[in-house]
Structure formats: structure tokens, C-alpha cells
Structure 1
Amino acid sequence: MTMLPEAKLYVDGTLREAAAGRTFDIIGPWTGEVVGKAADASAADVDEAIAAARRAFDESDWATNVELRVGLVKKLRDLFEENKDRLNELARIEAGAALGAVGRAHVDMALDGWDDYLRVFPEVEWETDYGTREGYGFTSHRRAFHEPVGVVGAISPWNVPLYVNVGKVIAALLAGCTVILKPAPNTPGMGAIFGELADKAGFPAGVINVVFGSDPAEAGEMLVTDPRVDLISFTGSTGVGKRIMEKGAQTLKRVFLELGGKSAKIILDDAPNFAMEVAQTMLVFHAGQGCAVQSRLLVPVSRYEETKAILAQAYAGFGDNWGDFDNPQQIMGPVISQRQMDRVLSYIKLGQEEGATLLAGGNARPDKGTGYFIEPTVFVDVTNDMRIAQEEIFGPVLVVIPFDDDDAAVRIANDSEYGLSGGVSSGDFERAMSVARRIRTGSISVNGGMCIAGDIPFGGYKASGVGREWGREGIEEHLETKLIAWKE
């Protein structure tokens, strides 16, 4: 497998190694072997990045020069297009993306989202006129000015790193903020390329900084607790999100959190092409490693046995059509790491202990290679109080739960600490919309509608997060409102 070039830090306009030249190994999910080296940032490196971002925001015209920042964001976009082959390689080797998945959520969807940000940017309102008001014997004119919040700490995960990095970094830059990007240790290269190409694009020193290290928490903790950082944008687990809220409270820091999910796909009894709808819920894309994947399938009791038969046939038909690094038709590869593999396998064991029936899969697949391969897995005879139905597994594991009627389907879907995404299918549009409107979730697809895209807001209810990313709202998350009133 190709060895990746060393991932370097980008601090205050300089691509460089970490202090004392420290590095750490990047482990490839396909092989479990070293596929590259990355700079191992020290606390001093992170501190320097924070200071640079603070200085660039406070002492340059980045926050006010809209023409400059839009021009540089467009130039950076062009450089990413020119380096698309490298992006594809990073998605495959670092994140474990199958070749057929690279052109979807990993690279193409990320670059499309970048374009969407540029398209919606003109819709952002920088001033709001509240007119005049009489009071105390005089007239006041009132106007709000929407200004960039300041320095943003962007902490991103390993599952679809380019997509999330674009979602955070480009929104912050367009809003007029400066950024410290902290990618996950598993995927530092997909963060390092932001620094490398920003340097080529000619960004002012300190506007973009990229730091990463072998310790998954140290740099993030520094960003969250440092008073020089004004906003934390985090995508990852709910447990870490709670810690960020707790630690960020010490400096009353604004936090945007896009967290876990256990989204429900509800197929009602009148859904057209019922068999196809059920078969398409197989949780195989990128080995189920997505926060918004529909990992709970809810079907009517009256069609439960039929559902089991459809899924058994679908998984058998899918067979071994996964786990081949060079096959462009495949959309499923390994999970990211040994740790994640152990986690997913422990949930499969737990599901069996809880009394669920393993309809397909359930095994590690060392015959696929030396990496972290788990076959597509589906449980039936699941009740919603089981841990495999309540907890985010983040692997290729689908659970199937029956419901009696529409009210029961809504109740089961909402009986979760999460509320990120979901879906409803029915031959009756009004019925499907009625169910969708009652589900407590941030985005939901009705009859296959695309509810996640770069030009619309994305985020969750409950333990799935705080705030919205993407779309105009994603840019506006990075703005403060200043109200100025003057006397006539």
C-alpha cells in the first residue's frame, strides 16, 4: 500500500514539524500497518497556533475584508480540485474508504458542500435595521451588526474527515473568523492538506492553523479551555461533546456540537416497493461509520416476517461484495482501527446476550486482510430497550424493530437520547409527513428525499448536538450580534 507523505503542522503561516521533531505513526485501516508519519504537536505548538489565530483576528483586516476572504476561499477551492487525486488517496488510505465510497461522502460531497457555502454566502445578512422607536422624549434609531465571533477551534473526527473539515473551516473563514483545525489522530493528513494548500493560496499568517498529535485529547482540551478561543466547533461522540460543554463553560465559550445518532428509518405498511425499501436499509456504506446513518429499521408487525425474509436475502446477495481495496463498485471497507473493531464486536456479542437474533453477519473477517474487517451484520427480534437499539455502535450493524401502528412507530423513534436524522416511507404523502413532523430529530427524509446537503442546515436534537452546520445557518453560527442605537 502507498506510503503517505509526512503530515506537517501549519502554524502562523509556516508548514513545519512539531517541536523537537516528534512524530507518530498513521495506521492504515486496510492493513493495520504503518502507512505514514505525522508531526506530533506539543502543548507549545498548540499554544503558538492559538496565539497566531488570535493575533490574525485582532490585528489584521481579515474580519472586515470580505472581498479578500471570499477570493482566498475560492482560490483554496481551486487548489483542492487540482489535488483531488491526493484527497481520494487520503480518504482511502487514512480513513479506510472503499473506492466506491470515495466519490460520495468522502470527497465529492465535501467539495460540493464547499461550493454550496459559496453559493449561499451572499444570503448572509450583515446588518439588520430595526427602525426607530420613541421613548423618554426622544427618537432612537436601532441597527444590528452581525460580526465574526473571533477565533474558532475546529475539532473534527476520523470517519469522513474532509467533509467535516470543509464544513467547519470554510464556514468559519467566510464568516470572517480565524481557525485552528484539530483533526483526529487517525486522519491527520486530511487536515494537513488544508495547511499546505492554504500556504499555496497565500492566506495571511495565522488565519488558518492546523495542529494534531498522537494524544487524541491534549490539543482539543487546550482549545476548549483557552480564553483566547471564542468558539469550539466539534463533531464526534456525545460523551466528548458533554466534556467540551463542561470545560468550555469555564470561559463561557460558545460551542457548536454535532454528536452521535441512532436514527430510525420507518417503513409504513403502505410503502410502495416495500421489499426494495427494506433491502436498501442494509447498513454497509463506509462500514456504518456515520453519525446520521439509519441504524434502527422500524417496520409494521404485520410485515415483520416478510421483512426478515427480505433482509436475509439482501444480505446473502450482498455476500462478499465488500472489502476489496481496488474494486470501484464496492462501498464498504474496514472500520477505522483495532479499537473500533473491538467496540463493534463487543456490541454484536452484547446483542446476542440481550436475546436478539443474529440474522446475518456478526463476525470479524481476517480473510479479507490484516486490517479491521467486520462483515455486514443485522439483528432481528430486537426491542427498543436493548442497548444495541439505544447506543451508537458506529459500525455495520443494523437492528430491526417491529411496531403496531403509526403512533407506536413515532414513540419508538423518539425513545432515544439521540435525534440527528431519520427517514419515513409511505404511499400516502400526508401520512408520511405527519409521522415525520412528530419525530424529534434534526433532519428527516420522506420517501427518499435528500435531507443532508451543503446548502441546508444539519444538526441534531437532544444528545445529538447543539447548533447547525452547513447552509447559511452554518456560516451564521460563527457570527455575533451587536446592536447599536443612536439618538436623533
Structure 2
Amino acid sequence: MSEVVESTEPSSVEFGRRAAARAETRLLIDGALVSATGDATYENLSPATGLILGVAAAASVQDMDRAIGAARRAFDDTDWSTNRALRKRCLEQFQAAIESEKEELREELVAEVGCPVMSTNDAQLDWPLAQSLRYPASLIDDFEWERVLDGGGLFGPRNVRTVFKEPAGVVAAITPSNYPIEVILNKLGPALAAGNTVVLKPDPNTPWNAARLGRLIAEKTDFPAGVVNVVTTPDNEVAGILATDPRVDLISFTGSTAVGRHLMREGASTMKRTFLELGGKSALIVLDDADPAKVAMSAVGSCAHAGQACAVNSRVLVHQSLFDEVVANVTAAYTAIPVGDPALPGTFVGPLISAAQKKRVLDVLDRARAEGAEFRTGGGEYADLPDHLRNGHFVAPTVVTGVDNSAAIAQQEIFGPVVILLPFTDDDDAVRIANDSAFGLAGAVASSSAERGMSVARRIRTGSVGVNGGMFYGADAPFGGYKNSGVGRQCGLEGFEQYLETKTIGCRVPKTDG
């Protein structure tokens, strides 16, 4: 049984009260903070307690239409797309504005996302805040916005050819609930630095952090009206307008593969460009020369934010000579993972985002049980909780063996605190199993030899790999997947260029004397 964290520190109930008192419940449309049509709202629920935290604006079709129109006008009728100095100043102001409310935002994330407060020290808040706006802002000065091609090509030296990089236009940024600030900033930063205008539609389960950013933009920056619009809504019909409206040029989406496919189909009617960062079923490969004692620490990372991360290594592939030892170590580690109130500093695993997600995870575990899977620890709902968490969405950290890679639990993205351990015979077998997946987002390799680890990593068909604990994450590092894990890359130069169009102009210059 995993350890339950209890403390006299402020709990999720208190975090929720404070977050509700400070929550922004308006939309940002055309530079103004406005209520949704008819003052419509919907309930924002706490994942940890199941209680109502407060409300968020429930935008209508009319509200979304206004937001798209504002973004279109701001792109077409202002100098935002060409005024690089203004773009840099606004992003610097935005950075300072977020930092001025960083601690309030931290509590708000814990309250509505259900992420453990310790995770806000890294990927939930501090890491993206350190780089995700600053890096693309630096590209405004450093990026090669235009280049002259050598010579004149087929038409001689008087034919001067210049390649220009220009913003794509209006970007629909659609973001998930699991790491909302991380994803939002890594979309807004490059999209805005590149000169686009944006309609941001956050996940309905986590609206407040996005609405807060909207307020900060309206109150503390010089962004022209309409450059950034923030529209919260629980209505899929309203959100779907972003995929079909011809005024939107590009869809930037992070979320499930199923929704990504839907957006791609819907956007095809107006030939929208799409950037899709989707699901994963990543594998940690433990080679026969790896240190088994270190593997358990790596495997625990699959429980980060209760496993609600697309890049976690939810499969652990272990050389058969180490398999029993690694299984024992990982099981012991998972049994000891601190589970409980995300507001407490010692909690590592908090709740899933919703009752629906909890049911989905439990259904996957029930199917695996029926198919003969062995649960070394966990395997169901986590019930040993304090009274204030009884209605929260907790699943026990779970270690699964006894299946092969063809099992549904080894192929599906679970988005819960579940890891599957699978044996392999040699390096070729490990690579085969790792690549036997519809996904191709991330992965990892453990070996006493960095050279051997790198060799295996190069053979894994995924967008990112960590070797011996190496971290690929960063605003300057492209992130995205092969196969069903997506189209395009987030972050880095590749991510910046997702938001740009390319124009080539050939100009015949006059013949000079002599």
C-alpha cells in the first residue's frame, strides 16, 4: 500500500478557496475582459476533492465568432505581424506580468489541475516560465527572417532571389488539462514572437489559469487589441468552430490522438495547417549492463502527475537477466510512492483530472485483469485517503506484469499512474518491442555505456529519447512525435517555424554600366 501523505500544511480545500477568491471568470476578446454571452458560466471542479471550486465563463458561438474576428482584424489591419520591436516588448511585459503573480498561479494550478505542488517547481510552472517566452522572444532578433539565395539560378546573376519568413496568420491554440501553463506558454511564445495572432481555447477542466493569462495581457501589457484572445467553454460545438472557420489559418493542438485526427479532418475543408502534439506509449529500455537499483527511480517518473503526461515511459522493457530484480525494485518503489493531497509538499501522486478519466483508467485495469495481467501493486481505486479527499479522483500507483506487448494495456495510452514491465532477450528484441507501437513520442535507454545507450536510442522511432537520465526538455529543444504521436514539433527552431510561412521572391535587377 502506497504511503498516504498527511500534514497540517494548507490542504487542497484551502488552496481551492484562495484560488476561487482570485479567479478570473471573464473572456479576453478584442482587448477587453468580457463576460460570456448572457453571463453564462460553468462549474470548475476540484480533482482532489470533487467539490465545486467556482465558475468560469462559458463562451457561446457568438463569443467565439467575435474572438476569431478580432484575431483576424489584428493580423490584417495592424502592424503586429511586421513590428518586431513591439512583439518583443509585449512578450517581455507578459513575462514580467506572470512572474508578478507566480505564487497565486502556483496555488491555482494545484487547485484546478490537481497537480502536486512539488511538480509546479518543474514542468508545471517554473520550467516553462523560465524559458517558454524568453527563448522565442530572443529569436525575434536572432532568427534569419530573410536570406538571399546564391547566384541567380537558371536566370543569371541579375535574377536576385530572396526567401522571406512571414507569420502564418490567425492561430487557434487548443490546450490540454494536464500541463496547461507549460503547453499554453510553449504555444503563445513562438506563435506571438513569429507575428501571428491567437485565439486560445484551454481545456474546460482547467480554465482559470488561461483566463488569468488573459487578464494579465489586458491589464499589464501593450498587446494590441485582438492579438491574443482567450475563450473558455465546455461546449465542443463552440470549440469546433476553430477547426472550420476560414479566418483561422493554423491549428496548434495538444491532446489526444483521437481529437487530433478529428481536428485534422475538420480543418482540411479550409486547408488549415496543423501542428498536433498527441499521445504516447513510450518505453524505457533497460539493457543488460544497466544498474537495476537506478531503474526504479526512473520508473517512478511514470507516475508524475498521476501518469497524466504524454511522454512518460509507461512501458519498461527489461533484459531478461535483470527482469525479476527490476520488477521487485519497481514494485517496492511504487508501493512507497506518496499519494494524497496535491497541496502538500510531500505528495508525488495526486488525483486524475476528472471522474471520467478515473473511470477510463479503472476500465483499462479491469480489462487487463480479465486478460490475465498480474498486478504487483495497485490495480484499482486508491481509497485510503483523508476525509476531505474521499470524493477525489485517485487511482493507486500500479505495476503490471504477466502480459506481452500485444496486450491492450501495453498498447493503449492510459493517462494514469500505471507502468507495464516486459522482458526482452537482446538489444534487437528491445528495439523491436519499443517500436511495436502505434505511438512514437518519447522513450529512454539505461546502460552503463553511453555509447551503447546512444546507439539503441538512435534506433527507436520516437521524437525524443533520454539516455541514462539525460533530459531532452527545453524551450530550445524540438519536441513531438512520429506516427500517431503527432505532426510537427513544439519548441526549438523547428517549433518556431511551425508558425511561419515561406515566401520566395525573384527580382530582375537593372543591368549596370560596365
TM-score (norm 2): 0.92
1:427 is displaced (CA, Å) by: 1.0
8 Å CA contact 2:211, 2:230 repeated in 1: yes
Q: Give a deviation string over 1:169-222, Cα, whole Å, max 9, x none.
A: 11111000000000010011111012100011131100000001122x223310
Partner AA of 2:183 in structure 1: V
Partner AA of 1:442 in structure 2: G
1:236 is displaced (CA, Å) by: 0.3
Counterpart of 1:44 in structure 2 is 62
8 Å CA contact 2:292, 2:322 repeated in 1: no
Matched residues in 2 for 1:212 and 1:89: separation? 20
- Which of 262, 270, 290 is the matching residue for 1:251? 270
Counterpart of 2:249 in structure 1 is 230
Pick closer, same or farther for the CA change 1:95–1:279 going to 2, 3 Å.
same
8 Å CA contact 1:335, 1:374 repeated in 2: yes
8 Å CA contact 1:279, 1:310 repeated in 2: no
Q: For 1:170-185, list aligned pairs within 5 A.
A: 170-185=189-204
- Which of 177, 195, 211 is the matching residue for 2:231? 211
SS in 2 for 1:245: helix
The farther-off stretch of 355-364 and 75-84 is 355-364
Matched residues in 2 for 1:438 and 1:120: separation? 32
- Which of 402, 424, 427 is the matching residue for 2:445? 424
SS in 2 for 1:142: strand
The farther-off stretch of 360-369 and 83-92 is 360-369
Counterpart of 1:124 in structure 2 is 143
- Which of 9, 20, 33 is the matching residue for 2:51? 33
Pick closer, same or farther for the CA change 1:121–1:460 going to 2, 3 Å.
farther
Counterpart of 1:366 in structure 2 is 383
1:138 is displaced (CA, Å) by: 7.4
1:6 is displaced (CA, Å) by: 4.4
8 Å CA contact 2:295, 2:330 repeated in 1: no
Counterpart of 2:292 in structure 1 is 274
Partner AA of 1:70 in structure 2: K
1:132 is displaced (CA, Å) by: 2.5
- Which of 232, 241, 248 is the matching residue for 2:260? 241
Q: Give a deviation string over 1:264-289, Cα, whole Å, max 9, x none.
A: 00010101x32222343023211000
Matched residues in 2 for 1:40 and 1:188: separation? 10
Matched residues in 2 for 1:473 and 1:259: separation? 17
Q: Give a deviation string over 1:244-297, Cα, whole Å, max 9, x none.
A: 1111110010000000000000010101x3222234302321100000011000
The farther-off stretch of 109-118 and 392-401 is 109-118
Pick closer, same or farther for the CA change 1:484–1:137 going to 2, 3 Å.
closer
Counterpart of 2:429 in structure 1 is 408
Matched residues in 2 for 1:148 and 1:224: separation? 19
1:73 is displaced (CA, Å) by: 0.5
- Which of 339, 349, 358 is the matching residue for 1:332? 349
Q: Are positions 1:260 and 2:287 aligned together?
A: no
Matched residues in 2 for 1:38 and 1:476: separation? 33
Matched residues in 2 for 1:346 and 1:137: separation? 67
SS in 2 for 1:298: strand
- Which of 87, 101, 120 is the matching residue for 1:69? 87
1:155 is displaced (CA, Å) by: 0.2
Matched residues in 2 for 1:206 and 1:71: separation? 17
Pick closer, same or farther for the CA change 1:122–1:350 going to 2, 3 Å.
farther
1:452 is displaced (CA, Å) by: 1.4
Pick closer, same or farther for the CA change 1:135–1:308 going to 2, 3 Å.
closer
Q: For 1:302-341, list aligned pairs within 5 A.
A: 302-318=321-337, 321-341=338-358
Counterpart of 2:361 in structure 1 is 344
Counting matched residue pairs gives 484
Counterpart of 2:459 in structure 1 is 438
Counterpart of 1:150 in structure 2 is 169
Q: Give a deviation string over 1:393-416, Cα, whole Å, max 9, x none.
A: 000000011101000000000000
1:243 is displaced (CA, Å) by: 0.7
8 Å CA contact 1:123, 1:472 repeated in 2: no
1:439 is displaced (CA, Å) by: 0.5
1:420 is displaced (CA, Å) by: 0.5
Counterpart of 2:112 in structure 1 is 94
- Which of 236, 240, 245 is the matching residue for 1:221? 240
The answer for unaligned runs of 5 or more in structure 1 is: none
Matched residues in 2 for 1:450 and 1:127: separation? 33
Partner AA of 1:109 in structure 2: W
1:326 is displaced (CA, Å) by: 3.7
Counterpart of 2:411 in structure 1 is 390
8 Å CA contact 2:489, 2:495 repeated in 1: yes
Partner AA of 2:66 in structure 1: E
TM-score (norm 1): 0.97
Pick closer, same or farther for the CA change 1:11–1:303 going to 2, 3 Å.
same
- Which of 447, 466, 469 is the matching residue for 2:487? 466
Pick closer, same or farther for the CA change 1:72–1:274 going to 2, 3 Å.
same
Pick closer, same or farther for the CA change 1:141–1:266 going to 2, 3 Å.
same
Matched residues in 1 for 2:364 and 2:346: separation? 29
1:134 is displaced (CA, Å) by: 5.4
1:85 is displaced (CA, Å) by: 1.3
Counterpart of 2:37 in structure 1 is 19
8 Å CA contact 2:48, 2:341 repeated in 1: no
Counterpart of 1:109 in structure 2 is 127
The answer for unaligned runs of 5 or more in structure 2 is: 1-12, 510-514
Pick closer, same or farther for the CA change 1:64–1:136 going to 2, 3 Å.
closer
8 Å CA contact 1:141, 1:485 repeated in 2: yes
SS in 2 for 1:71: helix
